[in-house]
Amino acid sequence: MITDWWEQLTAETYDLWTSRFQPVRELVVDVLPLHPGDVVVDVGCGTGLLFERLVEAVGPAGRVIGIDASQDMLHRAQHRIEQHRWSQVSLVHATAAEADLPHPADAAVFCTVHDVLQDEPSLDNVLGQLRPRAWVSAVGGQWVHPSVPGLDLMIFWLHLPYVQDFRRFDHPWTLLSRHLASWQVREVVAGTGYLLLGRTA
């Protein structure tokens, strides 16, 4: 099927085509006040590009749980886990709305998963499995001011392979922020992206 072919191609090229975004991607981990022994869930983990940073933050006594709906992405994530021998990393093959975490989590990371952030059942399910006062961080792209000609068109084509619905792309964190007791957001990459840090109630 065309859908299966596209998912496989996306997984195969994901690391290469998003490599330029890696420094910004790592910000979503760096802003989290993680401690050794913490459990953190990477929502829409893809090929596991955040795992190394997360493992370093939680240490050998912590846990990293990666959730993704794409088996092709998880296949590459599993290869990364085996290559680095990360015994504290586990994967959940499910949508964010259906994922069942093996452990309650102290923190959650949403990295460039715009469609998940626009889906209330996904947010309800993931955030509902976090411990009280859990930390939440999110990073992704956003529209910029319309006075900059052509820039939003470039942003659209850059994110098109990974975003199905561009609703709320001017403020992608809107639904997520409603689930948080406190939060702050700032622009990154010259305003073409955002970085959010908050805590659940």
| pLDDT value at 3 more than 70 | no
Return all residues near 79 (Cβ < 8 A) that are at least 6 apart: none
Domain holding 83, by residue range, is 2-200
Return all residues near 109 (Cβ < 8 A) that are at least 6 apart: 28, 29, 32, 40, 41, 42, 43, 50, 54, 136, 137, 138
pLDDT digits (tens, 9 = 90+) for 99-111: 999 989 999 999 9
CATH number of the domain to which 33 belongs:
3.40.50.150
Greater confidence (64 vs 191) lies with 64
Q: Based on the structure, what is the number of domains in the chain?
A: 1
Distance between CA atoms of residues 112 and 176, nearest Å: 13
- Tokens standing for residue 163: 């975003």
Confidence of residue 113 (pLDDT cuts 50, 70, 90): very high
